[in-house]
Chain A
């Protein structure tokens, strides 16, 4: 019996050594699961790379990267709907509001569907079929504020005929998904595969799983996973997340608590793409803060140019 006890102890000791060695070698995460281009982090092209391009190439890139905004509204969110309509959605190349129920006040495509997941499916299908020559899709609720120019910069030299599913990633068990409140970016290829797999009732059921209702963001991630499309976290060159599910005021409050000596630098990216949960008035302020307010004499000389939208006065 003692020999067993000693064997046990020897085993434990070796197990401990094994664990130390493994942690020294790196993370425990399993290797890439599937497609060739899979990375967990996605960053925009560096400034140096951009500067190597000719003016003609840059112009082409600017023309090619065009975004179709899919904005999911409900009459309950009327104020946000109106604000999104008046603010950031003007910077999309095409923005369509998809609603559960039509409202006399604002224009939207009435999907006549109560279930949120079913509505999202319909909206995605409609957007894909009416994409025209737009190759990038941004799905969000009107409570999220998006800076489309920064989104374009992120996907500038990425090929939309490859499957991309980008945003603020979160993990739920084995499933890595993009958080809805931070906005979801899908390439044309990802949309194509989605629309295809929507037809598969087993892998991607229309009414969700019978036992419990999974949120739309997780349903989406599951369907995409079956199509071989995996979530990627959008980050800037310093590794700061570009997609945020919290509002900017909330993030600044957090930073004041965690880094009181360096609040702004440690808070949020300069080229942030989204902030979630923004009250309507704050969206107007953000519009002013992003597209107008600046200190005279500080220029960035970004190699690309995005022009302001027509018939707009708050940007």
Chain B
């Protein structure tokens, strides 16, 4: 069939290009033109498809991990958290695929921990958000304490300003707040900064040996200024329900007041005044569990001899691998990416089949909490003696109490 050149739908619209094509066509002949057209068609559509992203990936590195959309995230959050009264209530103790979390679940029910995190409006996106995404999911209840109320995050505003000089005010008000709103809903009350990483499961292992009715608190023990020592603020510290009750009572009776803005020291002084014991948080082979710095510093770093740290620690300082318990509870000065790294190391990455050197004994739950198991392991005897010793120690501060 012959058609007029200028109006032919088969020809290329651009004039110059079509001229060249026409010449090429003439030279090739119909059959070859067909084959060339076939090739051009295949190639151009392939390029088009790869642009659109439909062509399969040839460089085999496995399927791309499915990025979570905001909707999926919100849905998952509503399954795991209940937001109520400006606190986050954990509905499910997080589980990892393929793990047996029976022991951890049991402790989760017996040893209820409320975590309150010291933060501020300018740090919500930078720091507090990552705390919320990682370790705080293992607390029974989480409260983010700020100077401003934020119902979305959620944070609680406690009528303070921001700044280092406000730290003790925030602490005082925070403890009063959690006592009032959640005093019956938890056994232990942990204070942490928004750059502290806490392994709550390991905290429960330590706390399970004690009763929340004991006036005791735990953290990284420092020795100066306070006779029985005080706990480092940054490394986090945890009060028993009785200790919290005494703290609040101490303020109402004016035994404790806002003495200084050095939060951890002032806290330690108040604790001593109201007869709360400074506990030993080390593991069964005397390795520290609460840490005032990142793991790199404790494991591989060297602190200069003039560094304040050397004169502060209550117990002998160990540097290198024995600095830190396998069941570490906290690290401080942890930035966002390190939070995720610690989460990966703690809950995800492992050596398949590896038999750990340190085999921690099961905690001995105090009499009033749960019945003592019939078959006690040898390890338990050690814990048992430790508990008895502590209870004896408890008696002396109580006798000294003037209240």
Residues of chain A at the chain B interface (Cβ within 8 Å): 1-20, 23, 26-29, 40-41, 47, 62, 91, 147, 149-150, 152-153, 169-171, 233, 235, 239-241, 248-249, 252-253, 255-256, 258-259, 261-268, 270-272, 280-282, 284-286, 288-308, 313-315
Which residue from B30, B37, B353, B360 sits with its C-beta under 8 Å from A296? B360
Known A-B contacts A16-B42, A19-B45; A11 and B350 likewise in contact (beta carbons under 8 Å): no
Task: Write the chain B residue with the least CB distance to A250.
Answer: B337
Which residue from A233, A268, A295 sits with its C-beta under 8 Å from B61? A233
Q: Is B123 an interface residue (CB 8 A)?
A: no
Which residue from B22, B106, B343 sits with its C-beta under 8 Å from A1? B22
Give B50 Cβ to nearest chain A Cβ, in Å.
9
Cβ proximity bits B96-111 to A, threshold 8 Å, 1 near / 0 not: 1011111111110000
Q: Chain A residues with Cβ under 8 A from B33's Cβ?
A: 4-5, 7-8, 11
Known: A289-B349, A298-B101. 4 other contacts (CB 8 A): A5-B33, A255-B340, A285-B299, A294-B326
Cβ proximity bits B107-131 to A, threshold 8 Å, 1 near / 0 not: 1000000000000000000000000
Which residue from B38, B59, B61 sits with its C-beta under 8 Å from A12? B38
Cβ proximity bits B34-46 to A, threshold 8 Å, 1 near / 0 not: 1111111111111
Which residue from B41, B105, B199 sits with its C-beta under 8 Å from A11? B41
Q: Is B389 an interface residue (CB 8 A)?
A: no
Known A-B contacts A7-B34, A41-B60; A271 and B352 likewise in contact (beta carbons under 8 Å): yes
Give B15 Cβ to nearest chain A Cβ, in Å.
14
Question: Could you say which of A29, A152, A294 has the most chain B C-beta atoms within 10 Å of its C-beta?
Answer: A294
Q: Chain A residues with Cβ under 8 A from B403's Cβ?
A: none
Is B99 a contact partner of A300 (Cβ separation < 8 A)?
Answer: yes
Known A-B contacts A3-B30, A290-B351, A299-B100; A23 and B62 likewise in contact (beta carbons under 8 Å): no
Question: How many A-B pairs with Cβ below 8 Å?
Answer: 292
Interface segment among B4-12, B149-157, B162-170, B230-238: the answer is B4-12
Residues of chain B at the chain A interface (Cβ within 8 Å): 1-3, 5, 8, 10-11, 21-22, 25-26, 28-31, 33-46, 49, 54-63, 65-68, 70, 73, 96, 98-107, 133-134, 138, 199, 201-202, 204-205, 295-296, 299-301, 320-322, 324, 326-328, 336-337, 340-358, 360
Q: Chain A residues with Cβ under 8 A from B62's Cβ?
A: 41, 233, 235, 239-241
Q: Chain A residues with Cβ under 8 A from B106's Cβ?
A: 297
Is B322 a contact partner of A313 (Cβ separation < 8 A)?
Answer: yes
Is A296 a contact partner of B300 (Cβ separation < 8 A)?
Answer: no
Q: Chain B residues with Cβ under 8 A from A305's Cβ?
A: 353, 355
Which residue from A2, A13, A150, A253 sits with its C-beta under 8 Å from B8? A2
Q: Chain B residues with Cβ under 8 A from A304's Cβ?
A: 352-353
Task: Write the chain A residue with the least CB distance to B65.
Answer: A266
Q: Chain A residues with Cβ under 8 A from B344's Cβ?
A: 248, 252, 264, 267-268, 289
Task: Write the chain B residue with the least CB distance to A5.
Answer: B10
Is A281 a contact partner of B296 (Cβ separation < 8 A)?
Answer: yes
Task: Write the chain A residue with the least CB distance to B102.
Answer: A297
Measured between alpha carbons, how far is A271 from B353 in the docked complex, in Å?
A: 11
Known A-B contacts A4-B25, A4-B30, A9-B37; A306 and B353 likewise in contact (beta carbons under 8 Å): yes
Q: Chain B residues with Cβ under 8 A from A263's Cβ?
A: 133, 340
Q: Chain B residues with Cβ under 8 A from A286's Cβ?
A: 345
Is B349 a contact partner of A302 (Cβ separation < 8 A)?
Answer: no
Give B358 Cβ to nearest chain A Cβ, in Å.
7
Give A270 Cβ to nearest chain B Cβ, in Å.
5
Measured between alpha carbons, how far is A315 from B38 in the docked complex, in Å?
A: 63
Is B25 a contact partner of A298 (Cβ separation < 8 A)?
Answer: no
Question: Could you say which of A11, A264, A295 has the most chain B C-beta atoms within 10 Å of its C-beta?
Answer: A295
The 8 closest A-B pairs by CB, nearest first: A15-B41, A11-B37, A297-B104, A289-B345, A239-B62, A297-B103, A12-B41, A295-B201
Is A298 a contact partner of B65 (Cβ separation < 8 A)?
Answer: no
Is B8 a contact partner of A149 (Cβ separation < 8 A)?
Answer: no
Measured between alpha carbons, how far is A6 from B151 in the docked complex, in Å?
A: 68
Question: Could you say which of B21, B103, B300, B336 has the most chain A C-beta atoms within 10 Å of its C-beta?
Answer: B300
Task: Write the chain A residue with the least CB distance to B205.
Answer: A296
Is B10 a contact partner of A288 (Cβ separation < 8 A)?
Answer: no
Is A28 a contact partner of B56 (Cβ separation < 8 A)?
Answer: yes
Is A252 a contact partner of B99 (Cβ separation < 8 A)?
Answer: no
Task: Write the chain A residue with the least CB distance to B72.
Answer: A261
Measured between alpha carbons, how far is A252 from B134 in the docked complex, in Å?
A: 13
Measured between alpha carbons, how far is A288 from B349 in the docked complex, in Å?
A: 11
Task: Write the chain B residue with the least CB distance to A253.
Answer: B337
Which residue from B40, B55, B360 sits with its C-beta under 8 Å from A15? B40
Q: Chain B residues with Cβ under 8 A from A261's Cβ?
A: 68, 70, 73, 133
Is B202 a contact partner of A2 (Cβ separation < 8 A)?
Answer: no
Which residue from A10, A266, A280, A297 sits with its C-beta under 8 Å from B34? A10
Is A299 a contact partner of B345 (Cβ separation < 8 A)?
Answer: no
Task: Write the chain A residue with the least CB distance to B31.
Answer: A7
User: Can you offer 19 A-B residue contacts whose CB atoms are under 8 A?
Assistant: A4-B30, A4-B33, A8-B25, A8-B33, A17-B41, A258-B67, A261-B133, A288-B321, A289-B295, A293-B328, A294-B327, A295-B104, A298-B347, A299-B101, A300-B99, A300-B100, A300-B350, A302-B352, A306-B352
